[in-house]
Chains A and B, each alone.
Chain A
Amino acid sequence: MSDAIVLTGRAVRLSRRNLDAVLTAMLLPVLLMFVFVYFFGGAIDTGTRTGYVTYVVPGVMLLCAGFGSASTAVTVTNDMAGGIIDRFRSLDVSGTALVAGHVAASVLRNAVATTIVFGVAFLIGFRPDAGPLDWLAVAGILLAFILAISWLSACFGLIARTPEAAGGFTFLMMFLPYPSSAFVPIDTMPDWLHGFAGHQPVTPVIAALRALLLDQPVGDSAWQALSWCGGILAVAVALSGVLFRRRTA
C-alpha cells in the first residue's frame, strides 16, 4: 500500500514533466466539442430544449476521460520496457502497486482535465440544471469510469511491447463513445447498431451523466453505469496481476 503511494507520487511527477501529453489529452476533447457544437450542432436535432451543447457535453466528458485514461497504457509500457522495472522488482514492489500508482496519477490528471473541459463548456453556453448532489453524483460516476478505463488500459500497457503499440488503446477509447447516445440519439443510427449502441458500457454512463446534469429522472442508468465500471475495474485488477506475473516470469 505504501509502495503504491510512493509510486503515485512518482507517476504524478513524471506527468507534470510530460505536460504536452497532458495538454493533448485536454485539447483534443475541447476541439472536438467545438466541432460538434459549431459544425454539426446546427444539423443535429436531439429533441431537447436546452440545445446541442448541453446534449453533447456529457459525451465530450466521456471522450475526455476515456482518452486521458488510455494514456495509462503508454506510461505502463514505458516502465515495463525500461530498466526501472528490474529495480522495482528487486525492491520487491508488486505489479499491483506499480499499476495502482499509474492509475492514481491518471485519475488526478483526468480530474484536472475534466474540470477544465467543463469550464470551457460553460464558456460556450453549457447550462445544466444540476444541484450540488447531482454534481457530486456526476463526479462519482466520472471517477468510476476513469478508474475502470485507466486500469483496463494498464492491462493493455502490460501486453504491449512498445509505447506505440500501447497508444493503440487510446484509439479504441476515442471510438467507443461514438456508437452510443453520446453525440447523437441512438434511434437515428441504423438498426443493426442499436443492439451494440444500446448495451455497451458507455451508454448507461452517458445516460446517467445526462440525466443528472439536466435534472431528469436518472432511472436505472446510474446503477448500470456503476456496475459496468465496477465490473471492468474488478476484471482489470485481476487481469493486470496475471499479466504482470506472466510478463516478468
Chain B
Amino acid sequence: MTRQPAIEANGLKKAYGAVTVLAGIDLSVARGSVFALLGPNGAGKTTTVRILSTLTPPDAGDARVAGYDVVRDRPRVRRAISLTGQYAAVDEMQTGEENLCMMGRLAGLGRAGARGRARELLERFGLTDAARRTAGTYSGGMRRRFDLAAGLVGRPEVIFLDEPTTGLDPRSRQAMWDVVRGLAHDGVTVFLTTQYLEEADQLADRVAVVDGGRVVAEGTSGELKRQVAGERLDLVLTDAAAFAETARRLGGRLVHSDADRLTLGVATDGDAARVRALLDEIDPDRRAVRRFAVRGATLDDVFLALTSHQEAAQKETADV
C-alpha cells in the first residue's frame, strides 16, 4: 500500500471514429512528484489528461489515480484530484470570489469554510484586489492563475494541469512555475502537459514525450538528453546548395535545421573519431562544411529527435 504510485496507466487507448488518438499509453507517476507530458499539437496530451481525470472513458487499458480506478471508482478519483483544463473553466459573469466560493461548496465545504478558502487562494495567487470583479474582466495571465486557484479549493492530492502556461508572457510563466513548485513542495502530485521543453526541464522530476498517441521516451530530463545524444554537432554550411545537399545526406539524423543561418545540428557523443568520420561521410569533398561546433544537447534536440520521425511518417501518409 505504501508508496503506491499516484498515477498508473496501462495501455490506454482511445479513438474518435477512424482516428486513433491514443495508441497505448503507459505511465507511472510517483506520489509527490511533478510529471510532465511533453508533446506537439495533437499528440494526445489533452485526451490523456481527460482520461486520467475521469472525464473521458478509455476504449481500452486501465488507469489508477490516487489508488482508485478511473472508470470503476470515478467518484473517489474525483474527490482526490483537480483538473485545470487547457481552456478556462470559470464563470465569466461571476466575480472571482463568487466563483471560488461556489467551487468550494461543490467540493463539499460549508458556507463559511468555502469563503475562507476563497480568500486564502485569492491572496495566495495575488488576486485579492480583483476578488470582486467579474472573471470576464481578468487579463489572460490573471485568468490562468485564477483557473488554477479554482482547481485547488478542494485540497486535491493529485493535480492535473493541461498546458498551464500556454499564452502567458515570461513573467506570468515564471509566476506559474513558482506556484507549481509550491504545490510540489506541499507534497501534492502534479501532472502537467506542455509543449515547452524548457518548462518540463524546469519543473518536472520526470518527463514523458508523447507523439502520435504513444510515449516515445520517458525519464528525467537529464536521462532523455543522454538517451538521444549527449551533445550536438552544429554544422555551418557554405551556401544554400551545400545546406540542401547535407540536409539530404543526414536525413533522419538531423535534430536541428536553420536554413537562414545555414546551420544543421546532428546528435553526437563528442568522440573525435566519430565526429571526423561523420564529417567525412557528409562532406567527402571538404567544401560543404565551413565551421562546426560541439555543444551540450538541449531538451529541444530530444524533442525534435523523438518526434520528427513520426511527423515525417505522417507527412508521407498525407501525401499519398
- A residues sitting closer than 8 Å to B (CB atoms) are 2-3, 6-7, 9-10, 13-14, 17-18, 82-84, 86-93, 248-249
Contacts and interface: CB of A to CB of B under 8 A. Distances in A.
B83 A10 contact: no
B55 interface: yes
Interface stretch (B100-108, B196-204, B230-238): B100-108
A133 B231 CA distance: 88
Nearest to B93: A17
A91 B103 contact: yes
A91 B154 contact: yes
B47 to A, nearest CB: 13
A92 B79 contact: yes
A6 B113 CA distance: 14
A13 B89 contact: no
A103 to B, nearest CB: 18
A248 B91 CA distance: 19
Contacts of B89: 82-84, 86-87
B11 interface: no
14 contacts: A2-B105, A14-B91, A17-B94, A18-B93, A84-B89, A86-B50, A86-B85, A87-B85, A87-B89, A87-B151, A89-B55, A91-B106, A92-B78, A93-B106
B46 to A, nearest CB: 10
B90 A91 contact: no
B24 interface: no
A7 B98 CA distance: 12
B53 interface: yes
Contacts of B88: 83
Nearest to A88: B106
Interface residues of B, number: 30
Contacts, number: 66
B252 interface: no
Nearest to B56: A249
A90 B105 CA distance: 14
A7 B99 CA distance: 11
A14 B79 contact: no
Nearest to B134: A17
B148 to A, nearest CB: 12
A10 B78 contact: no
B117 to A, nearest CB: 14
Interface string B12-26: 000000000000000
B94 A90 contact: no
A195 B54 CA distance: 50
B150 interface: yes
B106 A84 contact: no
Interface in B57-81: 57, 74-75, 78-79, 81
A155 B88 CA distance: 25
Contacts of B83: 86-87, 90
B90 A84 contact: yes
